[in-house]
Each structure stands twice: as C-alpha cells, then as structure tokens.
Amino acid sequence: MDIFSNFSQPFLLAVTVTALCFFIALFSFFRTFSLSRRFTPSTKHCNCASSDSNSDAVVPYLNGGFSQMTEISPPPVVLADRRTGSSMMEELVPEITTHALSYLDYPSLCRLSMTNSLMRKAANDDNAWKALYHKDFTLEQDSVRPSNGWKAYYAATRAIVIVNTEFFNILRDKSISAMSRFWLNADYVKCVHASGELFSGYNGVMQSWQLVFNWDQGLNFQVLDVRARVLTDMAWVTMKTYVDMDTGPFNVTNVFEFHNGRWYMVHHHSSVMNGDVEQQIVHG
C-alpha cells in the first residue's frame, strides 16, 4: 500500500515545496563555496607608475585632457556568478525537480502551478506530466510522443476516462434517457452485447439498451485494468468488468468520437473473458 495515500493533498504539496527549497539551498551553498575558491583575489598588484621617476605619470583621456595614472584596485569579486535572468531553481538538475514533483497527484500539481511564475514553470515541465501519466494510467504508451505535450495528453486521457466512468454509472442507474444522450446519433454506431448479438444504427442500439434495462436484476460493475488511447477526435478504452452474476468477467471495448465539444460513444463491445486473469483496479 502506498504510504503517501495516508496523507492529505495539502500536506504532500507542502512536503514537495519544502524539498525543492532544500535542494535550492544546498545547490546555492556548494556553488558559492566553489566560486569563492576559484576567484580568490591575488595580493600581487601591478604598479603601473614608473619606478625610476619621482613624478607621477600622466596619460591622456580618450576625449582629450590629461589625468594622473594611479594604481587601480581590483574590482570586488561576485561570488554568486549566476546566469543573467536565471533563478537557482532553473539551475537545479532537472531530474531533481521532476523527482520531487512526482510525489504530487493531479490536483496538487495544478495548485502548485498557480502559486507563482517559478512554480508554474516547474509544474508545467513535460517530464513531470509524463511521469504522472504513467503513474495514474499505463506504461504501455511510453514510446508515444504527444504532439501537444504530456500535460495536454494527460488532460485528454483523464477526460475520456471520466466519460467512460459515466457510461457505467448510466448502466447502474438504468437510465435510457441518459444513454440516448451518451451515444452519437448516427447510422454507423454499433453495439455488441455479451450475448454476441450485434445492433447497428442509433435506433437499434437504443432498443438493445432498453431491453437490458428492462431486466429486473440490478447491474453492479467492478471495472478493472482500464487502458485508454486518445487521438485528436477519437478515443478508445479497453477494460475488464466483473458483474454480480454467474456469467463471470467480461472484456469490454468502448470507442468514442469528439463532436461539438464533447465525447460521444460510437461503439461498445462486450464479450465473456475466458480464464482467471489477475488485474489491478484502476479508478477513473
């Protein structure tokens, strides 16, 4: 069991910020110590005045006139020789920042990005969102390179998982009106129930769900091993479901299309799963 699940989100956020401050202070100390040894001023100064003359030498100004040549003392050494416009957090090793942020969940990472510009830059790091995606969803898409970055891909995947969860809530409520709004009203939509019967077209699919809802026995689903893949205007979700009935577990595939600012289901396929497969529950 994950020990971090016992702590509240504000506590995890405070721990992460404290860890980042510690890394910044540690990095600043070692950098200052290194630079102080590198730039220790020498005690031997160049005497520009002539040693065999009793009078002070004079040199011309660049714009005319004359001035006495005097010994110029060395300028003060700047120990904190940081890059112009950069901060100490920006000079930290990126892996340290990403590792610290990996302990945050989605809401905490979003709240951290709203504190200040420095934290916003750190919380928007693409590697941090990639690590969060693999922690919350699946490692199958490690080779995927999202065109809009991992933060946008995480948000899109989270949205489609929430929509998929809504589908099972409609099944539990046995609401035909909610199901009719959930599906895209198109002739090419299809539904394959566990019985193996295929229903095509919007009207045929709605009639099939009406038959399912007329069945007196309640449906209580446990959804396992959720895997989502999101493209620009299409997404599909695969999962395994267990129902409080004797037929056993099912393999389920749901396909969605994006129209007019929202996701609609266009395909549902359910089939009986053969064999006992141990899977981890993923909460959408």
pLDDT at 150 over 70: yes
Say if residues 56 and 68 touch (Cβ distance below 8 Å).
yes
From the CA atom positions of the chain, what is the Rg in Å?
33
Give per-residue pLDDT as tens, 167-178.
999 998 999 999
* Dist CA 44 CA 112 (whole Å): 52
Residues 233 and 257: beta-carbon distance below 8 Å: yes
Q: Which of 78, 81, 97, 80 is nearest to 89 (CA)?
A: 97
Residue found by looking up tokens 């893949």 in the block: 229
Pairing of strands 250-259, 262-272: antiparallel
pTM score, two decimals?
A: 0.62
**Distance between CA 284 and CA 264 in Å, rounded?**
17
Beta bridge partners of 221: 243
Q: In this structure, what token pair is assigned to residue 27?
A: 């990095």
Give the pLDDT confidence score for residue 118 in this predicted structure.
74
Over 90: is that where the pLDDT of 187 sits? yes
Percent of the chain with pLDDT over 70: 60
> Could you give the CA distance from residue 178 to residue 180 in angstroms, rounded to a whole number?
5
For residue 277, pLDDT over 50 is answered with: no
Tell me how far CA of residue 262 lies from CA of 160, 182, 186, in angstroms: 10, 10, 15
- Reported as a single tens digit per residue, the pLDDT across 121-133 is 777 888 888 888 8
Q: Measured between alpha carbons, how far apart are the two ends of the chain, in Å? A: 19
Domains and CATH numbers, the chain: 94-272 (3.10.450.50)
pLDDT per position as a tens digit, 253-266: 999 999 999 999 99
Distance CA(225)–CA(279), nearest Å, equals 6
Q: How confident is the model at residue 227 (pLDDT cuts 50, 70, 90)?
A: very high
Instruction: Find out whether 222 and 282 touch, Cβ atoms under 8 Å.
Output: no
